Chain A
Amino acid sequence: MTLEIRLSHSLPGFRLEVDLTAPPGLTCLFGRSGSGKTTVINAVAGLLRPDRAEILLDNEPLHHLPPHRRRIGYVFQDARLFPHLTVRGNLGYAARIRRRRPPGFDRIVALLGLAALLDRRPGALSGGERQRVAIGRALLSEPRLILMDEPLAALDEARKAEILPYIETLRDELALPILYVSHSLPEVARLATTIAVIEAGHLVAQGPAADLLSDPQIAPVLGLGDAGAILTARIAAHEGDGLSRLELAAGPLRLPLWLPRVLGAPGQTLRLRIAAQDVILSLSRPEGLSALNILPARVSALHLGSGPGALVRLDLGGQHLLARVTRRSAEALALAPGQPVFAIVKSVAVARDSVGHAVTP
């Protein structure tokens, strides 16, 4: 299922002009607040009538339908559970409207861990629980498309960590396109299969997450502080000293990667976000270094900013890393595309929340 969105909408002092294609998987609409993300998602849901809209789901037009005929599961930032209904009543709402039994009720309840909450009222739920119920309620409306408007923004870090795996599961197990609005780059890096970057009402970039996140031209747009590429690696073993050994497929090579103990069984594939500022470059293989991960790579692109920094994209035989170094170092090492280097990544630099489940192809 592919979603195509073509919109134009004028608001006082703001013009939105978007042409976006969301392939299967999770498409992150990324941008600062006020960039028009929510306007786009509300137009897809039909809650907002743009001046001009063409919204096609597998070539089938949605834009002329009222919201209740679009069959879209919308997860709002503020959950919006019906306060007069119990959790069970909220989950069964769409089915009751359509006068049919909720399809897969038990499966969704199990998937989102809602069994213990069913008879509670929304007022008695924590923020994370509320958001899980909201996700379940949207899924049980038999949607053809899921919209999520910053579903984690109102939650603290612990609650976010609680919900993220559920969203990964949805992305990997449902055959539905998910349009996910966010302004948090770590969240995007962990969840997105596709990224669309919106700035002041216009799309400035869109493409596969791994390509966009490792693109040194795009990284400044996304936010330098959080810049970082994503790698896919397989868990090889959990070592006795509290580290996990992962294998990174780099062309014909299997590069070892040591991280503090990750969740998951050996054999499982993980997605890792390596922050650009945690990568050190060396022209020769360093000796006597405490860092465990020394990865042979090749410079594939270089972006010198206007400030003191430079972004370097590294090719690891098909996978990409992004390194943020100073201009001075880049010049001292005479970095240029094609040049072989060693990328050094401290094991402890990979934060636990940067490790997620990989998209199963």
Chain B
Amino acid sequence: MFDGLSPAETQALLLSLRVSFWATLTSLPLGLLAAHALARWRFPGHGLLNLIVHLPLILPPVVTGYLLLLSFGRQGWAGAALWDWFGFTFAFRWTGAALAAAVMAFPLLVRAIRLALEAVDPRLEEAAATLGASRGMVYLTVTLPLILPGLLAGAVLAFAKAMGEFGATITFVANIPGETQTLPTAIYSFLQVPGGDAGALRLVLVSVAIATLALALSEWLSRRIAARIAGR
């Protein structure tokens, strides 16, 4: 499928893309909510929420992975309940890799959306209300369009972070080819076997390309938000 990549490498790349895509997509609504709460609401526990959101950025990834294993493993409090009620589990599945990636990427996503939200002038939302827009309509027609570039920039950054996630993923869902072996864990595996350097190097190049592209796209979107807020 990809010239120069072996089937195993292609499989790791495609899995990484799938894991990152779903990790980003599913964390967007929650990220929007968390960013909104942090940017706009004052409530007891504001500082705690801020801490929890940012924790994965500071904790060693292996600790985050272990905490996920404790909660969402088959024996974990949440994992056991999910299994008993829905017959669903994150443990050693690609969905678990997506969960780990989402948690690790969440701080980046929330930060980007929060910055965009804080740049929105609440007086514009007041103006929209006087023109007949209900709160939901104000959000849809003023707030969301204004933060859209920031939202996309955050999503791109989260996607890139998810593509590179290693520590939490390998701790939580191990390194099973075809199920939980993403780009970084595949590179790690290649480096563990004699003669795997070539495969590792190819995947490294792919990773570098994806990260560069994502960063450039995110930068461009950030400039768009500045232009949008200024009304140019």
Measured between alpha carbons, how far is A68 from B232 in the docked complex, in Å? 28
Q: Which of B123, B129, B229 meets A67, CB within 8 Å?
A: B129
A:105-138 near B, CB below 8 Å: 121-124, 137-138
Q: How big is the B interface, by class?
A: 20 to 34
Measured between alpha carbons, how far is A45 from B129 in the docked complex, in Å? 9
- A94 at interface (Cβ–Cβ under 8 A)? yes
Contact A78 B130 (CB under 8 A): no
- A76 at interface (Cβ–Cβ under 8 A)? yes
Nearest-neighbour CB distance to chain A for B116, whole angstroms, equals 12
Contact with A along B187-227 (1 / 0, CB 8 A): 00000000000000000000000000000000000000000
Q: Which residues of B contact A81 (CB under 8 A)?
A: 231
Q: Which of B132, B133, B137, B146 meets A83, CB within 8 Å?
A: B146
Q: Which of B129, B132, B231 meets A47, CB within 8 Å?
A: B129
Measured between alpha carbons, how far is A124 from B230 in the docked complex, in Å? 9
**Closest residue on chain B to residue A93 by CB atoms:** B131
Q: A97-B133, A121-B231, A122-B231 are in contact. Are A67 and B124 (CB under 8 A)?
A: no
- A101 at interface (Cβ–Cβ under 8 A)? no
Contact A97 B141 (CB under 8 A): yes
**Closest residue on chain A to residue B123 by CB atoms:** A80
Nearest-neighbour CB distance to chain B for A70, whole angstroms, equals 8
- B134 at interface (Cβ–Cβ under 8 A)? yes
Contact with B along A74-112 (1 / 0, CB 8 A): 101010111110000000011011100000000000000
Measured between alpha carbons, how far is A305 from B40 in the docked complex, in Å? 52
**Closest residue on chain B to residue A86 by CB atoms:** B231
Q: Which of A46, A80, A97 meets B127, CB within 8 Å?
A: A80
Q: Which of A45, A84, A147 meets B145, CB within 8 Å?
A: A84
Q: Which residues of B contact A123 (CB under 8 A)?
A: 230-232
**Closest residue on chain A to residue B144 by CB atoms:** A84
Nearest-neighbour CB distance to chain A for B228, whole angstroms, equals 5
Nearest-neighbour CB distance to chain A for B142, whole angstroms, equals 6
- B128 at interface (Cβ–Cβ under 8 A)? yes
Measured between alpha carbons, how far is A141 from B129 in the docked complex, in Å? 11
Q: Which residues of B contact A45 (CB under 8 A)?
A: 130
Contact B145 A76 (CB under 8 A): no
Contact with A along B112-144 (1 / 0, CB 8 A): 000000000101101111111110010001100
Q: Which of A72, A73, A82, A98 meets B124, CB within 8 Å?
A: A82
A:25-64 near B, CB below 8 Å: 45-47
Measured between alpha carbons, how far is A94 from B138 in the docked complex, in Å? 11
**Closest residue on chain B to residue A67 by CB atoms:** B129
**Closest residue on chain A to residue B121 by CB atoms:** A80
Q: Which residues of B contact A84 (CB under 8 A)?
A: 142, 145-146, 228, 231
Contact B126 A97 (CB under 8 A): no
Contact B141 A67 (CB under 8 A): no
Q: Which residues of B contact A46 (CB under 8 A)?
A: 129-130
Contact A72 B130 (CB under 8 A): yes
Measured between alpha carbons, how far is A71 from B127 in the docked complex, in Å? 12
Contact A68 B129 (CB under 8 A): yes
Q: Which residues of A contact B141 (CB under 8 A)?
A: 93, 96-97
Q: Which residues of A contact B137 (CB under 8 A)?
A: 68, 97
Q: Which residues of A contact B126 (CB under 8 A)?
A: 47, 67, 80
Nearest-neighbour CB distance to chain A for B133, whole angstroms, equals 5
Q: A81-B231, A84-B231, A123-B231 are in contact. Are A68 and B127 (CB under 8 A)?
A: no
Q: Which residues of A contact B229 (CB under 8 A)?
A: 83
Q: Which residues of B contact A96 (CB under 8 A)?
A: 141
Q: Which residues of A contact B121 (CB under 8 A)?
A: 80
Q: Which of B130, B132, B142 meets A98, CB within 8 Å?
A: B132
Nearest-neighbour CB distance to chain B for A201, whole angstroms, equals 22
Q: Which of A78, A82, A83 meets B128, CB within 8 Å?
A: A82
Q: A76-B127, A80-B123 are in contact. Are A94 and B132 (CB under 8 A)?
A: yes
Measured between alpha carbons, how far is A122 from B230 in the docked complex, in Å? 8
Q: Which residues of B contact A67 (CB under 8 A)?
A: 126, 129-130
Question: What are 24 A-B pairs at a CB distance below 8 A?
Answer: A66-B134, A68-B132, A68-B137, A71-B132, A76-B123, A80-B126, A80-B127, A81-B231, A82-B124, A82-B128, A82-B142, A82-B231, A83-B146, A83-B228, A83-B229, A83-B230, A93-B131, A96-B141, A98-B132, A121-B231, A121-B232, A123-B232, A124-B232, A141-B132
Query: Which residues of B approach A to under 8 Å, CB–CB?
Result: 121, 123-124, 126-134, 137, 141-142, 145-146, 228-232
Query: Which residues of A approach B to under 8 Å, CB–CB?
Result: 45-47, 66-74, 76, 78, 80-84, 93-94, 96-98, 121-124, 137-138, 141, 147
Q: What 4 pairs across the A-B complex have the smallest Cβ distances? A: A83-B231, A123-B231, A122-B231, A80-B127
Given contacts A72-B130, A83-B230, 6 further A-B contacts (CB under 8 A): A66-B129, A70-B130, A80-B123, A84-B231, A98-B132, A124-B231
